[in-house]
Every structure is written in structure tokens, then in C-alpha cells.
Amino acid sequence: MDGVSTGVTAVHALVAIVLATFGLAAPPRPAAPTVTGPRDTTLERPVYAFRASRATGFRCSFDSAVLHRCAKRYSERLQPGRHVLRVRAVGRRATVSRLVTVRVLVRLPVPELIADWTVPVGAGAGVPATFASAAYVPVTSDGTLAVVRDGAVASRATVGVPATLNGLLDSAVDDGRASMQRAIWVASDEGDRVTRIDPDGATARFDVAPRPGGLTATDRAVWAFHFLQGTITRIDIATMTAKRLEVAGAQATGIAAYGGSLWLLTTRPSRVLELDPDTAAVKRTIGLLPPFALRRSLIETWWLAAADGALWATLPNHGAVARIDTTTGAVRYIRTPYGEPFGVAAGAGAAWVATDRAVLQLDETTGALQAAVLVPAADRTGFVSVAYGYGAAWLTNYDRGTLTRLRAPGTPP
């Protein structure tokens, strides 16, 4: 018998003693409640109805032994997974029925993304890049770059410095040039450097301003934003020279090169700045004002991705992402149903959003949820990053130090 049941029984016994002392008959206990409602459902807020003879009210709870007052029709938002509903009927003079438990399974309302494999790469797995069916994962804890092929680490190279502070995040990107020239670029958050790795394994190092927080690239240049600063580093690929650009008043959290412009995601205030890619002069400012209540006090904005005429920005505090039309500047806000979003990538007609609880595939135009997969409870973390390439989404888990290959239902492995 749980603690609440023991307490309720004690109260019932005390009421009986008081009634007997004054020569009063105890009222009959209410019958055990009958619970109607789905046991297996895809509804986010399933509705349950309670009925019991001699009941004047009900007490209930999901997934807790502590019951609270409930109406005879009760609904609560539930995450996908298994839940237990506990219900008692309450009668006259605080009499209560026996406890009734109902087991409820909430399923995802969309097809589930397929996880082909998960491989350990090292603590502090950062933002990955993809090229030639391989994933390149910077490992923040030791400053290395793990090259993963076919579900195993094929090689590893030192590109940064071991992190001494928790919360630093290394990142990688490929520059999108022809395959014989294509290179992987890695930003070392603590090392204040950006490293280029050529297909033949040759490397070049660029010392940059503090805290290069993320990268974006075209076949002409690579840009690094510097976390919570207005500084941008631009590296010209043809001349292999770096220069420092400044955006006054910006506190950057994300960057993307798209449509001939450079786009900078900032916080305090939340906005996207369209910049000249050579000078970082501001061409347009797009404010981000999500119409959703604050759910957390983490950081207003976190990551930015671009494809198919749109930018995608994650808004962790509001549990939402923003889709920004790069032509009109129109913004659409989409709630993320499972957790707070951090990483985002775009490709194959979708936005791929990594939250602290799940990975979501959203329609590139409407933001509608197309597929999803929940992260096991033991693997849930605020630091999750995602890239898209070669028919798959590549998810890194910072705390668990893993890389997972995910694909949409119906697509080949």
C-alpha cells in the first residue's frame, strides 16, 4: 500500500472513531470508480470520465501517488510513453473508495523515424558535418574530430584543444565544393581556432577571436560566429586568409549562408540579421516574437539552418522553432511537441529538429510534423545537435558522447 493510501485509510479510520464516539453511523463508502477513456491512443490530451455510486467528487493523478481533486471529466497533456492513471471516488464525510489504476499507452501520432545505429564518439560530441556518406563529429572534451563510417569510428584527428569548461561546444561544416576539393572545417570553442582538413588529410589552422560558436560555408568562404558576440570571422577559401568583421549590438547564437546573403541569429533581442557576406553590413532585420508563453529560462535562440527558401531558428525558451521566408521575411512559429529545441538542420524537403526529448521531421513549407522519434529517457540532454546529408539526419548527444544515424520511414538505409 502506498503512502497516500495509508494516509487516506488513517483519515477514514479517524472519521469512523469520531462518528462512533458521538453515536453516529458512518456513511457508506462510495463505490470504486469506473473509468472510461482510451487505454491506447495517439491523442496528446486524452479525456477520461469517472463514475461511481455515492460519490460526491473524485481525486486522481497521472504517474504520481499524490492525488489531487479532479472533475468527473479529466484531461491532461501526456508525453508519448506509458502512464498510470490513479483514481479514487470521494463520498460524504470524507469517505473514499478503493484506489483504481488504469494503464495508458500514448503513441506518437506520426510515423517513427528509423535509427540505423548509434556509435560512441567521445564525451562532448559537437555539431556534426557530413560528406561522402561519412559523418565528421568534433569531440569537444578532447579536441579531436571523429570520422564515422558504417556505424564505426574509422579515424580520428586532433583539431582543437581539450575543453576545461562544461558547456563549450565544438562544431563542423563542409564547404560544399566539388568532391576533389571539398574540405571539412572545425571550430574549437575553447581553442579559439578554426581548422580545415582537406580530402588528402592536410590541415590548415586559423587562430580567431574567442569562442567560435558555429560555422557556415559556401564554395567561396567559411564564416564563424562567436558565441554571444557581434564578431564574425570570414575565411576566404581561394586565398586562405581570414578577416574579422563586426556587427554592432549583436549577441550571436547561429549563422547560415544562403541566397547570396549571410544570416546571423542573435539573442537579447531575438532576431535574424541579413548581412552582406563580405562586410557583415546589416541589410535587413527580422524580429522574432513567438506567440507562446515562456516554458524555460535557458537561452532565447540557439541554432540556425537554411534551405529551400527558408531559415529555421530554434527558440528553446518557448519550445518552438521559427520558419523565416528569406524573400519576404515572413515568420511562421511552430511549437515543438516533445521537448525544447536546440539543433536544427534542413534538407530533403524538411526541417530536422533535435529537442532534449526527441528528433522531429517538419514539413519544409508548413512546419507540420511528419515523423518523429523519442530519445530514451537515459539519453535526454539539453546539448543535442543535428546535421542532414546523404539521406539521413545525424544526431549527436553531447552528454552521452554518441552519434545516431536517423532516416525517414520508407527511405533506404
At 190-232, the pLDDT tens digits run: 999 999 999 888 899 999 999 999 999 999 999 999 999 999 9
Q: Same domain, yes or no, for 77 and 167?
A: no
Query: If we measure between CA atoms, which residue out of 85, 72, 77, 79 comes closest to residue 39?
Result: 85
- Residue 316, helix vs strand vs coil: helix
Query: Can you give the pLDDT at residue 4?
Result: 46
Residue 316 main-chain phi, psi, to 5 deg? -60, -40
Q: Same domain, yes or no, for 86 and 119?
A: no
- What's 128's domain CATH number? 2.130.10.10
Query: Sign of the C-alpha dihedral, residues 278, 279, 285, 289?
Result: positive
Cell numbers found for residue 32: 470504486
Tell me the pLDDT band of 242, cut-offs 50, 70 and 90: very high
Question: How far is the C-alpha of 30 from the C-alpha of 306, rounded, in Å?
Answer: 60
**How does strand 100-106 pair with strand 40-41?**
parallel
Question: How far is the C-alpha of 339 from the C-alpha of 84, rounded, in Å?
Answer: 21
Q: Same domain, yes or no, for 191 and 286?
A: yes
Q: Same domain, yes or no, for 368 and 310?
A: yes
Q: What DSSP assignment string belongs to 3-67?
A: HHHHHHHHHHHHHHHHHHHTTPPPPPPPPPPEEES-SEE--SS-EEEEE-TT-SEEEEEES-SS-
Q: Tell me whether residue 215 is in a domain.
A: yes
Q: Same domain, yes or no, for 341 and 393?
A: yes
DSSP E strands, 198-330:
203-207, 212-217, 221-226, 231-236, 241-246, 252-258, 261-266, 271-275, 282-287, 304-307, 310-315, 320-325
For residue 384, the enclosing domain spans 114-407
Q: Same domain, yes or no, for 262 and 372?
A: yes
Q: Which of 7-21, 182-196, 239-253, 341-355 has the lowest average pLDDT?
A: 7-21
Q: Same domain, yes or no, for 304 and 347?
A: yes
Q: Same domain, yes or no, for 184 and 241?
A: yes
- What's 83's domain CATH number? 2.60.40.10
Query: Can you give the pLDDT at residue 17?
Result: 54
Residue with cell 549583436: 250
Query: Per-residue pLDDT for 24 more than 70?
Result: no
Query: Per-residue pLDDT for 32 more than 70?
Result: yes
Of the three residues 88, 106, 124, the one that is the final residue of a domain is: 106
Q: Tell me whether residue 413 is in a domain.
A: no
Question: Residue 393 half-sphere exposure, CB side, CA atoms within 13 Å?
Answer: 32
Cell numbers found for residue 298: 535557458
Tell me the pLDDT band of 1, cut-offs 50, 70 and 90: very low
- Mean pLDDT of the residues in the chain: 92
Query: If we measure between CA atoms, which residue out of 173, 178, 300 comes closest to residue 224?
Result: 173
